[in-house]
Amino acid sequence: MTGYDRDLFGQGWIDTDRNGCDTRNDVLAAHLAPLAVRPGTNGCVVEAGTLADPYTGTSIDFVRGDGALVDVDHVVALGNGWVSGAQAWGAGTRVAFANDPLNLLPVDAGQNRQKGDGDAATWLPADRSYRCAYVARQVAVKAKYALSVTPAEHDAIDGLLDGCPDEPVPADSGLPTTSDVGVPAGSPSGTPSGGSASYESCAAVRAAGAAPIRSGDPGYGRHLDGDGDGVACE
Cβ 208 vs Cβ 199: under 8 Å: yes
Whether residues 156 and 196 share a domain: the answer is no
The CA angle 102-107-113, to the nearest 5 degrees, is 105
Question: Alpha-carbon distance 9 to 35, whole Å?
Answer: 29
Domain-embedded: residue 182: no
Q: Give the distance between the most distant pair of CA atoms in the chain.
A: 61
Half-sphere exposure of 125 (CA within 13 A, CB side): 26
Distance of CA 174 to the CA centre of its chain: 15
Whether residues 150 and 197 share a domain: the answer is no
- What is the tens place of the pLDDT at every residue in 91-122? 999 999 999 999 999 999 999 999 999 999 99
Whether residues 196 and 122 share a domain: the answer is no
Q: What is the DSSP string of 26-89?
A: HHHHHHEEEEEE-TTSTT--EEEEEEE-TTTS-EEEEETT-TTTEEEEESS-HHHHHHTTGGGS
pLDDT at 125: 98
Tell me the residue range of the domain where 137 lies.
6-162
What total of structural domains would you count in the chain?
A: 2
> Which residues are 232's β-sheet partners?
213
What is the 8-class DSSP label of residue 101?
G
| Residues of the chain above pLDDT 70, percent | 88
Question: Alpha-carbon distance 22 to 190, whole Å?
Answer: 21
Mean pLDDT of 17-38: 94
Question: Alpha-carbon distance 176 to 162, whole Å?
Answer: 30
Determine how many CB atoms are found less than 10 A away from the CB of residue 130: 19
Whether residues 148 and 81 share a domain: the answer is yes
Question: Alpha-carbon distance 188 to 85, whole Å?
Answer: 16
- What is the tens place of the pLDDT at every residue in 184-217? 665 554 222 223 345 667 776 676 667 787 776 6
Better-predicted residue by pLDDT, 208 or 158: 158
Per-residue pLDDT at 45 exceeds 60: yes
Domain-embedded: residue 168: no
Whether residues 142 and 197 share a domain: the answer is no
Whether residues 125 and 215 share a domain: the answer is no
